[in-house]
Structure 1
Amino acid sequence: MNRSFAQFHIPLHVMAASLALMLAFIGTANAQSAPIPEVDTARQAVDRADQADADQYAPDAMARARNLLAQAQQAQSNRDKKDAIEFALRASADADLARALSQEALANAELQHRRAEISELQRKLGTEETP
C-alpha cells in the first residue's frame, strides 16, 4: 500500500518553523513591492513642471525638486517609508513652485506683449495716452 501525505508524521515544531519562514518570505516580498503613493505623486509633479518649461524659468526650484525626488526614490528602494514620504512631499512642493513660477513668467511675457500691441495701436491712431 502507498502512503499518502496525510500519513506522514512531521513534528509540530518543524511545521511551525516552515510556516514562519514562508510568512517571513511573503512579508518581505510585499514590503519590497508596496508602492508609496507620495513618491508617485512627486514624480507626476516634477513631470508637470518639466512640461511647463520650469527648467528655463525656475531652474533652482526645478533642480531641488529633481534632487528630492531622487532621494525619495532611493529611500523607497531602501524601504525607508518615513524618509521617502518626507522627501516626496518636499519634491512635490518644489515642483509645484517651479511650475507656478514658470506660468507666472509666461503670463508676464504675454502681458508685456499685449501692452506693446496696445501702445503700437494707440500710436497709429494718434491717441497715445500718458500713464
Structure 2
Amino acid sequence: MYRRKAQKLLICLCFSLLPGCNLPFWPAPPLTIAAARQTLDRWNPQYCKVVEFYGFSQPPADGSRESYVLLANPRERAAKPVIFVAQFKLLTRPDGSREWFLTSLMNHSAGLTRRQGWDNLLIPVQEKPLTGTE
C-alpha cells in the first residue's frame, strides 16, 4: 500500500517537473543600444561607421530584434550615409548560455526589389569599454 502511494507520488512529482525542463537554464541577456552600436562600429571599421542609431523594433519572433542605423564609409568622406536594417538574433550555445549576434545588415538603396548588404553574418554582440584610441 505504501509502495503504491510512493510510486504515485513519484510519478506526480516527475510530471510536475517536466515543464520546467524546457525552460532555458540561462536567462536571456539584454541587448543594449550601446552594445549593438559598438558591434556595428567594430565588425568592419574600414567600411562601416555608425552615424546614427535609431533604436530597436521587435519583430513577431521572440529572440530577434531589428534596428535602423545610418552608416557611413569613413574612407569616403564625400559619400552619403546610407540607412541599413541590422538584425540581431538571440542564439543558444551548446552549454545552454544565450547570446545576441548580429546576423544581417541590409539596405534597399537600389530599390525595394534589390537588397544590398550582408545577410550571412554571425558576430557576437559585446559591449566593450571604449578606450581613447577608438
Task: Specify which structure has the higher proportion of helix.
Answer: 1
Give the TM-score of the pair, scaled to structure 2. Answer: 0.32
Larger radius of gyration: 1
Higher relative contact order (CA 8 A, sep 6+): 1
Task: Specify which structure has the higher proportion of strand.
Answer: 2
Give the TM-score of the pair, scaled to structure 1. Answer: 0.33
